[in-house]
A and B are shown apart, each in its own frame.
Chain A
């Protein structure tokens, strides 16, 4: 049977199958040689979207790194501040204890001297009323 006879013998269903086979073989061959059917440029759009997402993720990661570094630096600053306060409180407590144990601790200041110093205190407290506290142990802050 010749090819022409084969073609004449094909039913409509056979024709459909033959066309489908030809299409599939064509697509496979086209893919094989690197041809792409992408009339709407979808691949390029997907690539651009992926690049945008990647750039955004990199920016977010950089921001998180900055935040982590900032938190660590703040923790160091807080620790230094805390250590300073402790050292100051310890040194002051020692001095106050020694002052309390001194032989002349309970001797009143000369009246003129006391008045002069207290007048200065009063003036300072007028200028900054919120910060004045009577001298006593534990008010170093």
Chain B
């Protein structure tokens, strides 16, 4: 399972590094949330399908 990511600053960071870390953390948050949402929706759909098959 691929974990979510957290961008961190390198040693002796520059302003570019700070900008990059700021932007990447936002992107990582969105990507991680999208993956989480898809996983949860898939699980719910799977259970609903199993319930439907039992009926």
- Chain A contact residues, CB within 8 Å of chain B: 63, 66-67, 70, 73-74, 77-78, 80-81, 84-85, 88-89, 91-92, 95-96, 99-100, 102, 104-109, 114, 117-118, 121, 124-125, 128, 130-137, 139-141
Contacts and interface: CB of A to CB of B under 8 A. Distances in A.
Interface of B: 2-21, 23-24, 26-28, 30-31, 34-35, 37-38, 41-42, 45-46, 49, 52-53
A113 to B, nearest CB: 9
Contacts of B6: 124-125, 128, 131-133
B28 to A, nearest CB: 6
A130 B28 CA distance: 14
B53 A63 contact: yes
Contacts, number: 127
A80 B23 CA distance: 22
Query: Interface SS of chain A: helix, strand, loop or mixed?
Result: helix
A88 B30 CA distance: 7
A127 to B, nearest CB: 10
